[in-house]
Chain A
Amino acid sequence: MSVLDQATFRPRAAARGALARRLRTVGADVLPPLALLLAVLAAWELAIRLMNVSSFVLPAPSAIAVSLVENHRMLLQAARVTSVEIATGFVLSAVVGVAVALAIVRFERFGRALYPLVVLFQTVPKVALAPIFILWFGYDLAPKVVLIVVIAFFPVAIDMMHGLQSVEPGFIALMRSVGAGRGEILRRVQIPYSLPHLMAGLKVAVTLSVIGAIVGEFAGASAGLGYVIQLSSTQLDTALVFAALVAVSVLGLAFYYALEFAERLLVPWSSKFDPLHRG
């Protein structure tokens, strides 16, 4: 491009330039991991074919793709069941986590009693509770939701709590000095302040919710992706196991990115989105 070209302002060219730049950044984010993934899949495919691995030990990516297509109706049906479990469990985890955090921060005495118990409960291997929940709540939605909540509320509670406590003490002193009460400080300052922290906790919780749903289905279910994985592994249909795993990953990603999107809407002021990372 000559000096003259650069000196003349051409809006369309400028817009084209901006679009090209944007595409280049997206490309820089997306292309390398995509290329690596394709390389891994190609190596996997090649290894299976060269070494003649039996398909019920490890199916080739192409076999998994075929299984995905052949079973897509059944997998979609299973994914619907699991999605309902994840969504219900996640929402309840968020509610319980936020409630625990607010209770601990707002009612100090109660919080001092509750917090150690919450941490203690966290040391219980909750996956081991799955059979008990089946015993108590049956084979349907309820035991999975309860399992998800006991697994996933903790990061929400901890992150929200830290968020509520992250307000500069000077600012709280300032509000107290003009006569603001604890409820007012909590509502107008601490809760908005905690939202970026809450979002971080929710993102951990949503991935734990996926795990909780699958484990819950392993322990006893008649539908869902976890049920499909278990059933097809007993039938040595390993390709279908992997196809269901792909479906689980896609579900997990969808839930995660829905939250990322919500984060941009809810807390656009979060320092996370500040390109210069200024406080």
Chain B
Amino acid sequence: MLSIAPAPSVAEPEPPPSAAAPAHIAGRGISVDFAHDGVVQRVLSGIDIDVARGSFVSLIGPSGCGKSTLLKVMAGLLAPSEGTMTVGGLPPGEAAKRHMIGLVFQEATLLPWKTALENAAFLLTVGGRATPKDVALDKANEMLRLVKLEGAARKLPSQLSGGMRQRVAIARALALDPEVLLMDEPFGALDAITREEMSRGLLEIWERTGKTIVLVTHSIDEAVFLSRDVHVMATGPARIIETLPIDLPPHRDEETFNLPAFGEAEAHLRRLLIQGHAGEHR
């Protein structure tokens, strides 16, 4: 039904010498400065990050720690002031143009005059790699099935609930058949029950497709439940303070929440976040 993470369409260049293993997403010394009224503020400071192919990692931290900024750099939406980022060995902007990157934001950002199906197909029909409409619609249909929304294909966004709209947004990202799925608080605007349902759905999609997923979240539960690695970020200056491997069985369900390791990881992350938060007020 869905091809397992396709090989990159171009030969990967030699990995940078500092990388131990060829990471799917690799950032070296990433710094980002924003200028506000002539005052330059460092939003990210010298970040190194490696995300292995096919893994599921979370970026967690207090607001203002630069986790969304780091995701934007990975997506090629923002050029770092210093350092280099590569996705599948390519500069992120180039990777995105080749449909190697799928993006999901907190808001579904669907086009209100298009049906769920047309919205899911839309990105396939624009840009230099635009596909014919019927091919795009077929692909979108397949993705709506994957996010369990085939019944709502003909509905307009205004007729869908928040969770359903977000599933359309995920289907739209997956329709590109990207190698990497970058998600910026995708469930942040949803209620707790829908959130959990969406998390389990996302995990299922990840298991079936083998995509590399990077999730920005401020929910500790969500990070532990979903990820294989959690990168904890802190402010002042914005940086990664620890990378915590989550020692839980690969397949996760409701029972996962009751495992001792879940509680331990959660407690550990909470401590780190409180420290990071304290750092903000130094």
Contact = CB atoms under 8 A, between A and B. Distances in A.
Contacts of A170: 105, 107, 109
A271 interface: yes
Contact of A192 (B103, B111, B126, B156): B111
Interface string B122-161: 0100111100000000000000000000000000101000
Interface string A256-279: 000000000001011100100011
Contacts of B128: 179
A279 B162 CA distance: 10
B127 A175 contact: yes
B163 to A, nearest CB: 14
Interface in A151-205: 168, 170-171, 173-180, 184, 188-189, 192-193
A173 B101 CA distance: 13
B6 interface: no
A184 B125 CA distance: 11
B126 A175 contact: yes
B107 A168 contact: yes
Nearest to B111: A189
A274 B128 CA distance: 36
B176 A174 contact: no
Q: Is the interface of B mostly helix, strand, loop or mixed?
A: loop
Please classify how large the interface on chain B is, using the bins under 10, 10 to 19, 20 to 34, 35 or more: 20 to 34
Interface residues of A, number: 23
B158 A180 contact: no
Given A179-B128, A188-B126, A267 B113 contact: yes
A175 B119 CA distance: 12
A32 B127 CA distance: 54
B93 interface: yes
A166 to B, nearest CB: 11
A180 B127 contact: yes
Nearest to B172: A174
B175 to A, nearest CB: 11
Given A271-B158, A278-B158, A279-B158, A175 B109 contact: no
Interface in B76-111: 76-77, 93, 96-97, 99, 101, 103, 105, 107, 109, 111
Interface string A133-154: 0000000000000000000000
A178 B112 contact: no
11 contacts: A174-B103, A175-B126, A177-B75, A177-B76, A177-B96, A177-B97, A178-B126, A178-B129, A189-B111, A270-B112, A271-B112
Interface of A: 168, 170-171, 173-180, 184, 188-189, 192-193, 267, 269-271, 274, 278-279
Shortest 4 CB-CB contacts between residues of A and residues of B: A179-B127, A177-B96, A171-B109, A178-B127
